[in-house]
Amino acid sequence: MSTNTQPTQKTFNRREFIKLSSLLGLGVTAGALIPRAESVAFNRRLQKVSLTRLGMGTFITITVMDPSRVKAEEAIERAFDEIDHVASLMDRYRTDSPVAILNQEGRINHVPPHVSYVVSRSLYYYKKTKGAFDITVKPLIDLYNRYIEDYRSLPGQKEVDRALKLVDGSAISLDNGAIHFKKEGMGITLDGIAKGYVVDRAIRIIQQNGIQHALVDAGGDIRATGGKEGSTPWKIGIRDPWETKSCLETVSVINGSVATSGNYEIFFDNEKLYHHIMNPRTGVSPRRSVSVSIIAPRALDADAISTAVFVLEPEEGMRFVSSLPDTECLIIDRNKKKTFSKAWPSAQWLNEKSNTLAS
């Protein structure tokens, strides 16, 4: 492995790195660092209320449609309160969070239910993907961050191999409300799944407040409940990996989630061969894919699956998606080739177009 590659940016974690994102994933200006609220009449029956805040290292936008502006604003505030609470439990950089304590001590008793659930689902996907999705990649990520920050270069193979010995999802014990590591020096990062779960929690709070039409976008992890009105779907843009302020295509969602994993988010070299998504089997970043988008019922699942498919590479990743119910996938590789699952919206359009031309 080369050790003279120069990084293209200084910050490399989700907390520090800010992805500019709007509801369509088109990006926002620096002025949006300040929370912004918007309330307009969508039609004679509904008020459209949107609020954007900074959280989890990205911009979070919540949009609600409801006859009552006051009710919509209250639901949004409660959803943001839930986001702040749940995200704080998963934050490995916050020294008093359960995840940070677990990483420091190797064990934590009386785990909060939110953390226990996310770790449990992480272990489910670890087994389901035969290790491709593994929250114990923290030693690898820390290794790359340390070498970039201290030496302005990438770690050598010996250092990577040493870190790989601590990457082992099967060495996590979750039992009776306690979590502990079976190997000293292990650590977890929930970056590949927690944001989706936080989005799901926000939607649940909104629903509990009697809202039927809402969308939560946390920097590309998106979940919608209801359409904008009745059967009118929300339009969600899939970011272009090469022109990240533009959309490659748009999908329609009424009830469901969309999440995208890409090598353009946090990367260590000009070619984006080394980035924040690590293959837990090899200790290096997957090379073939540049973007993986998933449509699934819940944001937690879409988040985890997009990461797993990125690691699995296109062919194996698409086979994995085909084994899952109610899940669709779009993979874009380095040659700008698109690979769709059978029911991905663009795939359906292409099939219809092909049938029309053939008739």
The per-residue b/e assignment along 189-212, b for 16 or more CB within 10 angstroms, e otherwise, is: bbbbbbbbbbbbbbbebbeebebe
Q: How confident is the model at residue 43, as a pLDDT?
A: 66
For tokens 């029309």, the residue is 356
State the Rg of the chain over Cα. 20
252: left (phi over 0), alpha (psi -120 to 50) or beta: beta
Q: How confident is the model at residue 40, as a pLDDT?
A: 64
Q: Count the Cβ atoms, other than its own, within 10 Å of residue 113.
A: 9
Of 198, 92, 194, the C-alpha closest to 145 is 92
For tokens 């769709």, the residue is 340
Task: Report how far apart, in Å, the C-alpha atoms of 274 and of each of 75, 247, 288 are.
Answer: 40, 24, 12
Domains of the chain by range and CATH?
Answer: 90-181 (1.10.3980.10)
Q: What is the DSSP letter of 348?
A: H
Q: How confident is the model at residue 44, as a pLDDT?
A: 64
Torsion, Cα of 59, 209, 88, 37 (10° steps): 30
Please give the full DSSP string across 180-232, using - where no structure is assigned: EESSTT-----TTTHHHHHHHHHHHHHHHTT--EEEEEETTEEEEES-SBTTB
Tens of pLDDT along the chain (359 residues) come to 333 443 333 333 333 333 333 333 333 333 334 465 676 666 668 999 999 999 998 999 999 999 999 999 999 999 999 999 999 999 999 999 999 999 999 999 999 999 999 999 999 999 999 999 999 999 999 998 888 888 888 899 999 999 999 999 999 999 988 999 999 999 999 999 999 999 999 999 999 999 999 999 998 899 999 988 878 899 999 988 888 788 888 999 999 999 999 876 655 555 555 557 889 999 888 888 889 999 999 999 999 999 999 999 899 999 999 999 999 999 999 899 999 998 998 755 434 333 323 32
Q: What is the DSSP letter of 153?
A: S
pTM for this prediction: 0.85
Q: Which amino acid does the sequence have at 186?
A: M
